[in-house]
Amino acid sequence: MSGTHKPVPRIDTSHEHCRAIAETLDRIGDKWTVLAVGVLEQGPLRYNEVRRSISGISQRMLTLTLKNLERDGLVTRTMYATIPPRVDYELTELGRNLLVPLRSLREWAVRHRPAMLAARKRFADKGRSARFGQRAL
């Protein structure tokens, strides 16, 4: 292990790291993926159980979201040839690993998102007052 005690001293040798993040975000940054992962956190669910757990999702988008999660090895899909048919979805190890950065993101959202929204509001107000010559609306 030659001399180097810490193999990760520098964070950003180039922006290929950023690209890795961006690509990951491109995958999980759609409208429903993290919600699906979230509701599956507690354990396996049937198709319609997932559906009911994510209010507002359409059948089409749920099917697409789950299929993509299965394709990427983040959830398993288990069919039971019963009548009526039954399909269970469950997070894989890989999928559960994803919960770690998601929790980190949640942590940021809980702690700092209010400040962000406040800044957004200030920005909007500033823009409005500028457009109306510094006069309150």
Q: Which residues bind DNA (CB under 7 A)?
A: 30-32, 46-49, 51, 56-61, 63, 66-67, 77, 79, 84-87
Q: What share of the chain is helix, strand, coil (3-state, %, to 5)?
A: 60, 10, 30
Measured CA to CA, the distance from residue 71 to residue 65 in angstroms comes to: 10
Please tell me what DSSP assigns to residue 91: E
The residues in 67-96 that bind a second copy, with binding defined as CB under 8 A, are 70-74, 94
42 is an interface residue for a second copy by CB under 8 A: yes
User: Cβ of residue 14: shortest distance to a second copy, in angstroms?
Assistant: 8
The residue (of 86 and 112) whose beta carbon lies closer to a second copy is 112
Beta bridge partner(s), residue 80: 86
